[in-house]
Amino acid sequence: MTGAEVAALLVLADGTTFEGEAMGALGAGRPVTGERPGRPATGELVFNTAMTGYQEVLTDPSYAGQVVAFTYPHIGNYGTSSEDDESPRPRCRGVVVRELARRPSSWRASEDLDSFLRRHGVPGITGVDTRRLTRHLRSHGALPCALGAIEGPGAFSPEDLADAAAGEPGTTGADMVSGVTTPAAYTVGDGPYRVVAYDLGLKVSQLRYLTAWATVEVVPAGTDAGEVLGRRPDGVFLSNGPGDPAALPWVVDTVKALLGEVPVMGICLGHQVLATALGGSTYKLPFGHHGGNHPVRDLEGGPVQITSQNHNYAVDPAGLDPRRVAVTHVNLNDGVVEGLRSTDPGVPAFSVQYHPEAGPGPHDATGLFERFRRLVEDGRP
Amino acid sequence: MPRRDDIHTVLVLGSGPIVIGQACEFDYSGTQACRVLRQEGYRVVLVNSNPATIMTDPDFADRTYVEPLDPDVVEAVIEREHPQALLATLGGQTALNLATRLSERGTLEQHGVELIGANARAIRTAEDRQAFKAAMTEIGLSVPASGIAHDLEEALGIAEAIGEPLILRPSFILGGKGTGIAENRAQFARMARVALAASPISEVLIERSIKGWKEYELEVMRDRDDNAVVVCSIENLDPMGVHTGDSITVAPAQTLSDVEYQRMRDAAFACIRRIGVETGGSNIQFAVDPGTGDMVIIEMNPRVSRSSALASKATGFPIAKIAARLAVGYTLPEIANDITRRTPACFEPTIDYVVTKIPRWAFEKFPGTPAVLGTAMQSVGEAMAIGRTFPESLQKALRSLEHGRAGLNADPGEGLLDSLDDRELVHRASVPTPDRPYQLESALRRGVTVEHLARETGVDPWFLDQIARIVAGRERIVAAGGLAGLDRAAWREAKRLGFSDAQVGFLLGEPEARVREARLAAGVRPVFKTVDTCGAEFDAETPYHYSTWEEEDEVRPSGAPRVIILGAGPNRIGQGIEFDYCCVHASFALREAGFETVMVNCNPETVSTDYDTSDRLYFEPLTEEDVLAVIDAERRAAAEGGGRLAGVVVSLGGQTPLKLASRLGPELVLGTSPEAIDLAEDRRRWSDLCARLAIPQPAGGTAATLAEAREVVERIGYPVLVRPSYVLGGRAMEIVYDDEGLVRALAELAGFGGVAAGAGTGTWGQSPEGGAAGSLGREGGLSAERPVLVDRFLEDAIEVDVDAIRDGAGEVLIGGVMEHVEEAGVHSGDSACVIPPPTLTSSAVEVIEGYTRAIAEALDVKGLVNVQYAVKQGQVFVIEANPRASRTVPFVAKATGVPLAKVAARVMVGATLAELRAEGLVPPEVDGRATTGGYVSVKEAVLPFNRFPDVDTLLGPEMRSTGEVMGLDRRFGSAFAKSQLAAGWRLPTEGTVFFSLADRDKRAGLGAAARFVELGFRLVATAGTARFLRDNGVPVEAEVAKVGADGDGAEPGPGPASGPGADAVELIATGQVDLVVNTPRGRGPRADGARIRTACSFHGVPCLTTVAAARAAAAGIADQARHPLSVYSLQELHRPEQLELPWEAARLDVEA
């Protein structure tokens, strides 16, 4: 340690601890501003296996309520750039890395990652054996955790951290969407079609693809179906978002009311909501899919897509009525449902569990936004 | 799509001899391919001229042809074997070029052979630079401005249009031969000539230089359903301007954001789709402007490459294996990921560590060549290291190189930079050389800023900042003041930055052993993590480990008896693929015998570092600290699992593991005891032993001073062979003919310490001074503890090598008696050799065998022993014995069918030859000595002189060959001719032979000259040689002027058309000579001879530097003329009774 570094600890709900050093909004003079200032940072700990795209991950609202551990050791190498934000600010509760880069290198970098985290009040810990951590999560599932400095002003004792971790509820059954959705509707783009996008935790990259051909009206998650239909949209888009889809019956009901009235596309949480609206159900994966290398097979043809994924919940194929819904995509690694469509010609709708907009991740599936455009075109009189 | 059933037999082409730019990575890929194809039920026919490869082991193919990679030869194989498909994408540029030629001349079509893996059109588009650039522009990718020239005039026109700096790249070359960057017009013109000559089609791409840009590579795979994945991204630490094979490379890419990385990935897929590689792997290179992010595509290799091997080892994703499956019809989703076994191969590996590869060079072997790196590859090997962070992996990689450094400085070698001032140091670092990493660290340690250094060197600031972390870590170690000052946190930090115990010891003034003690007392031990392709997301089945300094160890307990095999480390001249072959064979044999094998090695090119060669793989440096850590881990695994560590194999990986033998504890060393190994190396004890056994040695003695050396010479007379008492891999020997030479040789040794000042940093022992220190000097000093050996040099003696195995019961098996074609004095590794001996009398062979048995007995050998002899006028002298695997073991195994390395491995763990004979591992008919079944095998060395155009090609006692080939036939002449063809020298069938013989060779050369005349050749000769030949009745058509009569300094190059009175170099340059016989006049560079030989190397004219080789060539030419080309598989040589096809047996009858 250089001396300037402050020892910190990451403690899981099962008592497992990991040593490291404070970074971001953790440690002396770096107050945690998050949701519970003055207390240890806590959240549901998940790991992400992407080797690039840490900034996009940290600003993805789907990570609300979670602490993200990166499996790739060197994080922060190319700094941060406002161009790469997926939302106005990070929503995750903390970051765990093996090696924070002190000095970024990129012609686009405007700020180093540590400063970025401090500015946004996101606590972090570096120097952690993240591989041990990942193997632990792999066998025990995503776990609540707490992290804090253990020396200097504002230090916590290991016992404080263990108690905080044990007291952290995690995301199961929690509505995390209300905390991240836009407070008011807004419009972006000026394309020939009109798409209403439900912000359940929307990523900017999705808007980039939609605005290529549509004027997109982004609305809060609580917007009711009547109001949306009143905007006379050509299509409705359901974004990604954080937390347990089962905790969002109000969104599901809205989507039920929209189905058959307007073509619908869903991504990630939007996919889970659509599946539920179509009569299906969801379940929680042991440790989820978080990374940029998941192979997905399109059962209706075409090459395998390497996809960006970020989900803890998945659609249960057993709960889908084959007369209404067809599974269109599966994950080659574990067979998890990665996409579906309505088979009722009167109900034009499809969704994918993964992220065709990338941000971060491969661009293999960007064609899905074109597919949505065709659905919209076909649906418009 | 499942496997193709319309294919029955697949012809696989290997890559031939190890040369610079094409090393054992293609043995790795080819071996994987052969295994996979046979697993899939195909009949595999392999052609590869390199006997040292594992792929040419007869178990890996149904028919193995160790034959020249030549279109006529391969056509003969096709006619015999009737393959339906040809797989050439796993045999490097050699195989790809050969396949292109076979396709172009219609051979493939005529015989109904389909090119699989990549079609001819795709190869053409990727390889032809103009077509490639047009194709890339068409799909919207940027390429540097460029033009194509076929002659000098065209080239100058393009230079005018684009402007310097310009890079020149000849078409259809491997490893960047002839490429370079021109900064001005004069330089450009000179380089354009060289580049045009280097291209087989006289074509050169000239383009805007993007020197200084960041360089990246992506390894991409695609299948017939258009599934495409990136296996690995690689970032070069050295910016554009250094060949990627000579660059320090790091995986994954470190300084690309996701936005830029995905853009590159999209471009890579667009490229592979446009080029049309339908199945298999490709390597695609990009450059990125560090200031703006502009990206250009540089090149694409439509085949498995050196980088693919690196990517496979770096990620655990077996590119070659999967490429072979794709080539026969499978798609990526249909293939399982070997490592996880649960998930498919259709995914992109994600890694949770950093991989660093560093090349290893051999500039010290090629005096006159500046140790400066450029766009033509010059390295002969590489080491790779895995660490959790870049600093850790960089330091591990540096100590893996085994060139006497303990890591990134913090060792005695760092002192060599002390004499430079800051300005000079930064200036040196701005020129890419092997010393650059050390210079960067030293500059940062002196306080040069990251910004300044980045600007001057083009190395990305991120990498420099990581090196600065190492500097900071060093300062904290020093600040601890002593071992007692290092607490657990300080140890952890030092180790996490990659500091070795030796470095910590250097910084704190403590011996390494005490550092180790203190560290273990502090409870600081490495853990071993796993390479699993998935960042621990899934459970890994394959135990492929690396050490690091973390909290969790992943080595699993095991109940099976286990053997650790120490590998050979990075390839270097004198220690290459042959030793990997031995280690791999040991692993196979011991696994078959019920042991679990544990491989330790750090060379990413090799088969030994394939994760399924052994039961466990530790990708680690071969240093005492790292190896002891593996032994500890395996002991724990055995203790916890109820298993037993049977021991460590140190005698199959060359000098690298042998040097460690004494540090491991004698009870752990399997086979011959370290004590016996020492005995053979200790001059006095060895001489006593020979005397006791009544085996003659050349007269000699040891000397620690010039006076003592003169005393020895007084007694034995000149010429003498002078060598250090500790010779590493046969390095640093000199033949001295007179007192002047003796003075020089001794002065070089004694003067070694003074080389550093003002003459390069000396880390690599050569550096820009380019050979100011002779090779003796580099081996380090002269003292009473390190005397030189001065032995009578037996001129014109025949050198003989013997490989033998002795078991614990005392039985000795003579594996092979090899007669060298070149006489004693040429390093055995550079000499051609023959089994069975063509000129030795049977009584001499009997004496040699008897001596070998006696020596093996006296040394109590358990395993392999290699003994070298010189036979002069019928008398046999022993030169030296080494109780370990030699370079010739794989050659002997191929020539005789006795798998020596496997047999030796079993003997080392206790089996007797009798038992192995009963088991069938030793062929039952082999009793006392292996035989060759009526065939003759010639091993020829392949030398890298085309890479070092200013170096004399004369063979001598210092080994300089990078690889070897084998010629196999029923007659010596035919076998020799094949060996020459395989080495790249097609013996002429008619034309003109140029003779220039040293006086002492004239008598011996007479017969050879007469033979060439009989064969219908015209002779030309230098005046003295011509006179001698004519006086002795051999007609000489013309006398050739002394070289350079018109003045010195003319470079050998494509000279002007010759007129009457042209000198030898002009004749060679203008194609008027088809073969050159030029023997040296004693020792030392003689300008004319050296320039003739250099011109031959440059213009591709075969040049023989010994009379013996000339005789052999004449025999080869004669046999070639009399007998049509025949090809033979190893299977018919080794197991003629097991041939399946009746026509093969019938053919053998006819031959017999």
Q: What is the pLDDT of residues A205-257, one digit of tens each?
A: 999 999 999 999 999 999 999 999 999 999 999 999 999 999 999 999 999 99
Closest to B272 in 3D by CA, of B236, B335, B229, B331: B229
Closest by Cα among B342, B349, B340, B384 to B542: B340
Identify the residue among B214, B221, B233, B262 best suited for mutation to test binding to A, counting A beta carbons within 10 A and taking the highest.
B262
* B976-991 pLDDT tens trace: 999 999 999 999 999 9
Structure tokens at B757: 């000042």
Strand ordering across the sheet containing B114-116: B63-65, B43-47, B9-13, B85-87, B114-116
Q: Which of B226, B228, B255 sits opposite A77 (nearest CB)?
A: B255
B256, B292, B537 member nearest A138 (Cβ): B537
Asked if B258 and A361 come within 8 Å (Cβ–Cβ), the reply is: yes
pLDDT tier at B772 (50, 70, 90 boundaries)? very low
Q: Which of A157-171, B502-516, B891-905 has the lowest mean pLDDT?
A: A157-171
C-alpha closest to that of B248 among B373, B348, B369: B373
B136-159 residue pLDDT tens: 999 999 999 888 999 999 999 999
Q: Does residue B484 sit in helix, strand or coil?
A: helix
B463: closest CA of chain A, how far (Å) = 9
User: Do residues A55 and A80 touch, judged by C-beta distance below 8 A?
Assistant: yes
pLDDT at B1041: 80
Indicate whether B888 pLDDT > 90. yes
Among B1043, B1015, B1012, which residue's Cα sits nearest to residue B1029? B1012
Percentage above 70 pLDDT, chain B? 92
Averaged pLDDT score across all residues of chain B: 89
- pLDDT, tens only, A341-380: 999 999 999 999 999 999 999 999 999 999 999 999 987 6
Which of A52, A73, A101 is the closest to B352 by Cβ? A73
Q: Report the side by side order of strands in the sheet with B561-566.
A: B527-530, B544-548, B616-619, B596-601, B561-566, B644-649
Contact B450 A103 (CB under 8 A): yes
Pick the more confident residue, B755 or A132. Answer: A132
Q: Which amino acid is at B1110?
A: A
Instruction: Please tell me the distance in Å from B465's CA to the nearest CA on chain A.
Output: 7
A131 vs B258, B344, B536: nearest CB: B536
Q: Bigger pLDDT: B1097 or B875?
A: B875
**Cβ contacts of A101 on chain B, cutoff 8 Å:** 462, 465
Q: In terms of CA atoms, which chain B residue is nearest residue A335?
A: B343
Distance CA B356, CA B253 (A): 11
Q: Is the dihedral of CA B409, B415, B418, B424 positive or negative?
A: negative
Q: State how far residue A356 is from chain B, nearest Cα, in angstroms.
A: 13
Chain Cα centroid distance, residue A176:
11
Confidence category of residue B1149, pLDDT binned at 50, 70, 90: very low
Q: Is residue B204 pLDDT above 70, yes or no?
A: yes
Joined tokens for residue B950: 């200013």
Residue of A nearest to B251 (CA): A51
Predicted pLDDT of residue A104:
94
The label of the residue with tokens 């394959």 reads B542
Give the pLDDT score at B1139: 57
Radius of gyration of chain B (CA): 29
pLDDT in tens, A162-177: 999 999 988 888 899 9
**What distance in Å separates the CA atoms of residue A56 and residue A61, rounded to the nearest whole number?**
10
pLDDT at site A29: 55
- Which of B228, B229, B255 is opposite residue A106, by nearest beta carbon? B255
Residues of chain A contacting B293 with CB distance shorter than 8 Å: 107-108
Measured over the CA atoms of residue B173, residue B175, residue B177 and residue B182, the dihedral's sign is: positive
Q: Which pLDDT score, from 0 to 100, does residue B1140 have?
A: 54
Closest-CA residue of chain A to B493: A1
Number of H helices, E strands in chain B: 39, 38
Q: In what order do the strands lie in the sheet with B720-724?
A: B700-703, B788-792, B720-724, B734-736
Q: Which residue has the higher pLDDT, B1023 or A217?
A: A217
The Cα B803–Cα B865 span in angstroms is 6
For residue A381, name the pLDDT band (cuts at 50, 70, 90).
low
The answer to whether the CB atoms of B550 and A132 lie below 8 A apart is yes
Q: What is the pLDDT of residue B1145?
A: 43
- Angstrom distance (rounded) from CA A194 to CA B989: 80
| Structural contact between residues B435 and B361, judged by C-beta atoms closer than 8 angstroms | no
What is the distance in angstroms between the Cα of B228 and the nearest Cα belonging to chain A? Answer: 8
Q: What is the pLDDT of residue B1060?
A: 44
Residue B348, CA distances (Å) to A138, A171, B344, B534 in order:
19, 29, 10, 8
Nearest to B347 among A77, A306, A360 (CB): A306
pLDDT at B540: 87
- CA–CA min distance A278, chain B (Å): 30
Q: Residue B343: its chain A contacts at CB < 8 A?
A: 332-334
Q: What is the DSSP string of A35-47?
A: SSTTS-EEEEEEE
pLDDT of residue B110: 97
Contact A52 B257 (CB under 8 A): yes
Residues 6+ apart with CB under 8 A from B100: B120, B123, B124, B127
Interface test with chain A among B216, B257, B265, by most A beta carbons within 10 Å: B257
Q: Is the pLDDT of residue A338 over 70?
A: yes
Of the pLDDT bands very low, low, confident and very high (cuts 50, 70, 90), residue B542 is: confident
Number of continuous H segments (helices) and E segments (strands) in chain A: 9, 19
Least confident interval from A204-218, B98-112, B198-212, B311-325:
B198-212
Report the catalytic residues of A: 268, 355, 357
- Taking CB atoms and an 8 Å cutoff, what residues of chain A touch B227? 303-304
CB atoms within 10 A of CB B752: 20
| Chain B residues with beta carbon closer than 8 angstroms to that of A286 | none
CB contact under 8 A, A105 and B461: yes
Q: Is the pLDDT of residue B359 over 70?
A: yes
**Could you tell me how many CB contacts below 8 A there are between chain A and chain B?**
164
Are A18 and B254 inside 8 Å of each other by CB?
no
**Residue among B266, B342, B354 minimizing CB distance to A74:** B354
Give chain B positions within 8 Å (CB) of A362.
262, 265, 348
Task: Using CA coordinates, name the residue in chain B closest to A18.
Answer: B551
Interchain CB distance below 8 Å, B265 and A362: yes
Mean pLDDT of B608-626: 97
> How close A285 comes to chain B (CA, Å)?
13
What are the structure tokens assigned to B891, written together? Answer: 């050659």
Contact A297 B290 (CB under 8 A): no
Q: Do A134 and B348 touch (CB under 8 A)?
A: no
Q: What is the mean pLDDT of residues B193-221?
A: 91
Task: Give the pLDDT score at B176.
Answer: 67
Please answer yes or no on whether A56 and B258 come within 8 Å at the CB atom: yes
Which range, of A162-166, B168-172, B1017-1021, B1048-1052, averages the lowest pLDDT? Answer: B1048-1052
Chain A residues with beta carbon closer than 8 angstroms to that of B489: 1
Question: Does the distance separating the beta carbons of A71 and B350 come in below 8 Å?
Answer: yes
Would you state the pLDDT for residue B128? 86
pLDDT of residue B747: 81
Q: Does position B491 have pLDDT exceeding 60, yes or no?
A: yes
Residue in B with minimal Cα distance to A106: B255
B730 compared with B591, residue with greater pLDDT: B591
B245 near B231, Cβ under 8 Å?
no
Alpha-carbon distance of A57 to B538, in angstroms, equals 21
CA-to-CA dists, residue B178 to B91, B96, B376, angstroms: 22, 19, 7
Give the pLDDT mean for B447-466.
97
The span from the CA of B854 to the CA of B1084, in Å, is 38
Q: Do A306 and B348 touch (CB under 8 A)?
A: yes
Comparing B945 with B712, the larger pLDDT belongs to B712
Q: Spell out which residues of chain A touch residue B255, defining contact as CB-CB under 8 Å.
A: 77-78, 105-106
> Alpha helices, DSSP H only, in B1015-1106?
1023-1031, 1064-1069, 1087-1099
